[in-house]
Chains A and B, each alone.
Chain A
């Protein structure tokens, strides 16, 4: 066959791959948003879910999602950043470092359902936390930790070595250099990574089925005592999140408006995930420009 013709055919094939992929995304987003947004109104966002009757909302699930997200980030961000600093700055090539790297790799490739089972065993049963926000957040920490470790290590390693050497040459100790030179310079990268991971946590469901539970109390948003069972702040109550809710109404829901609830919840979920992704990019760029002084 004529080689020019072959070349043209091949180019067409590659272009169609990219077109298929883009079309899939456009279709997915378009489908979720057009189907879902018509179900979303103030009432949907601010009323309790209902287990048998039509007209349930997602107020508590939405709150739970954010609560678990925040607790998870409070646990995993400091730990992950410190671990990343160790790998980037202190780890010497050797057995221990290899073990740490392998551990990060294993943790990041674990199926989330396996993390959920581990959470069920350790946090829910052995530690006696029951199905709770805190058990869910601990499981998600296991799931999120390797991502933050990696992002931090990469960001710190990409800081120009001259900056570090300049600081060390002034007689500043290594740790102080890390704190005052490396981490600030790596901050945009780390923050972007954390925000992206927030999107992932927000949408995660499999790891939460057996840890945060499939039900939620009727939260009373006027009881702010964290030890009250119906308080939104209580970290020891079971908490169905928005993504778990989508799964649950779809597989076990008996209310007549299952499809509408699922579609509406999915639209809300997608919008928040998109917000996290876009914010991650924008914030990362703004801080990067501020620090480097480029326009």
Chain B
């Protein structure tokens, strides 16, 4: 490819009689970009098929009952293992994190688009970008060294808890929610805002009655994207949540999520064992959920009015 490029630039860029070679290059170029695009499809299909195959095998080869697997608790690595506690843990962390990050993120987005229009953007944009860039192990580390002791000393319990998971993951998805919400609010035509101000509405009234309803589908997309990220987050959650294999009874109890159990158990299981196979089924749940999140996002954004 490098050769082709070189000979190309050695030729003249202007129209040349040398038509057959440029046609050949045209075809070659098209083939190249098309192949790359097809590789993206192949990767996606391969992941879906292989994970699907490995995840479903558990229920056919090892005779694990799907119903039992999804609805009971008790994880001992045998055919009777149930993953309900982890499914619950994943959903709990996801919703709690969204509950905490969504208002904060949308509030910040409104601040940077409506309240401090001139410098809010300039100031918060780098903040968002750096927050996104911080690796998840670092969030986990701060969770372990700051948030867990804080909860242990001031709220109660061991510290390793759903609450710690919620805070760490909430901070992680905050920038995602903020930046997408800000884009959504910026996309609202200024006409309708001006109309509202023209009628004598205050800024809050305009935000509450005009901007939020108009941007609602996109704001929902922002929240769902944040939740998708929260659901799949592995190491940061694993470090702070305590990884107890039963159902948590309160926010201060330790819990476990699908990702945290995969992270912990995978290295200790032997290839081909029931326990190992069960972990692939947990992975399949994660995969299915990321498809579900995509479907929800498509559904929500198809309701966009503006």
Contacts and interface: CB of A to CB of B under 8 A. Distances in A.
A7 B5 contact: no
B137 A243 contact: yes
Interface in A14-73: 14-18, 20-22, 24-25, 28-29, 31-32, 35
> Chain B interface: which size bin?
35 or more
Interface string A90-107: 110000000110111111
B73 interface: no
Contact of A111 (B26, B207, B259): B259
A18 B110 CA distance: 9
A214 interface: yes
Contacts of B44: 102-103, 106-107
B136 A203 contact: yes
Contacts of B232: 109-114
A206 B202 contact: no
A151 interface: no
Contacts of A175: 25-26, 28-30
B294 interface: yes
A3 B205 CA distance: 8
Contact of B228 (A78, A109, A205, A243): A109
Interface residues of A, number: 96
Contacts of A246: 137-138, 141
Given A113-B263, A118-B51, A10 B207 contact: yes
Closest 10 A/B residue pairs (Cβ): A111-B232, A203-B135, A17-B107, A175-B29, A82-B36, A86-B33, A10-B204, A103-B44, A171-B15, A7-B202
Interface of B: 5, 8-9, 13-15, 22-23, 25-26, 28-30, 32-37, 39-41, 43-48, 50-51, 54, 103-105, 107-108, 110-112, 114-116, 120, 123-124, 127, 129-131, 133-138, 140-142, 144-146, 171, 174, 178, 202-205, 207-208, 225, 228, 231-235, 238-239, 259, 262-263, 266-267, 271, 280, 283, 286-287, 290-291, 293-294
